[in-house]
Amino acid sequence: MLTKTAARSLVAPRPFPLAGQPAPPELHFLSLPGARTVLTPGLEAVDHALAEACQQRRFLCVLGDAGVGKTFAVHHAARTRFPQAYVPLRLGARPRPADLRAHLHHALELEDVAPAEPAAADALIRRALRARPRIVVVDEADRIPEACFEYLRFLHDDLPGGLCTVLIAGQRGERALRAQQMLHTRTVQWLTLPPLARDEVVRTVPVLHPLWQTIARDHLWSLDGHFAHGSLRRWALLTHHVQRALAATGETSPDPGLLRQVIRRIDTSRRP
């Protein structure tokens, strides 16, 4: 007779549900065909934290290792829950305040050409930010210089109710963000997203993509332990290459041999 513990281990964990509104294909890593938006604990945590930051109009810092889904979660939550407020900034490496002004000018859909004079550019940006609540999203925020942090502080403090600003950074970037004194009193939450835990892998991956729906739990755990390490990005990468391998062979589902071949071909000692 099975013990209660053994019996529970045989029960398949309930999969996570799909999000109420799917993310657009381009938001998924590699724009993965067939990828679905899974309501993981990380996605829920970001959704709740963003709602609080938006209500209080304060900063939110979202941290996590590469590939855990922090950028996906923030942009999905912002564009689905607050589409009229969503202001995504893609700044590139080491931007200057002038670059930040130019990106804000474009993201806020202001005049065709941003004024060269900083004061004139600031006047247009401040007017647009005062018109209605906004959510400014900055990815790789740990790479921006102090002058840009000061400009974000200036915009936040200039508005009577503040400005909801989401800063996304890798786990190693937390020190750079913590070093910014202005964030200490203006941040509603420091949220860290961990990789998928062992039980979360089998609750997420078969929902993430139909390719994995027929793969046994033990095999999914093995693939995660050898390759994905709880990273949603690495699961998307693996799915992408398995799809290509299936297209080349004409098969409809992956067998263990094909999966081993794909992993040997794409695995590296460094995680993406």
CA dihedral 133, 176, 172, 25 (to 10 degrees): 30
56-107 pLDDT, tens digit each: 999 999 999 999 999 999 999 999 999 999 999 989 888 999 999 999 999 9
Q: Bridge-partner residues for 192, per DSSP?
A: 63
Reading the chain (272 residues) residue by residue, the pLDDT tens digits are: 445 544 445 567 899 999 999 999 999 999 999 999 999 999 999 999 999 999 999 999 999 999 999 999 999 999 999 999 999 998 988 899 999 999 999 999 998 788 999 999 999 999 999 999 999 999 999 999 999 999 999 999 999 999 999 999 999 999 999 999 999 999 999 999 999 999 999 999 999 999 999 999 999 999 999 999 999 999 999 999 999 999 999 999 999 999 999 999 998 744 44
Residues 226 and 263: beta-carbon distance below 8 Å: yes
CB 271 within 8 A of CB 67: yes
Dihedral, CA of residue 158, residue 61, residue 202 and residue 219, to nearest 10: 130
DSSP 61: E
Are 77 and 50 in contact by the 8 Å Cβ rule? The answer is yes
Determine the pLDDT at residue 1.
Answer: 47
Contact of 27 with 72, CB cutoff 8 Å: yes
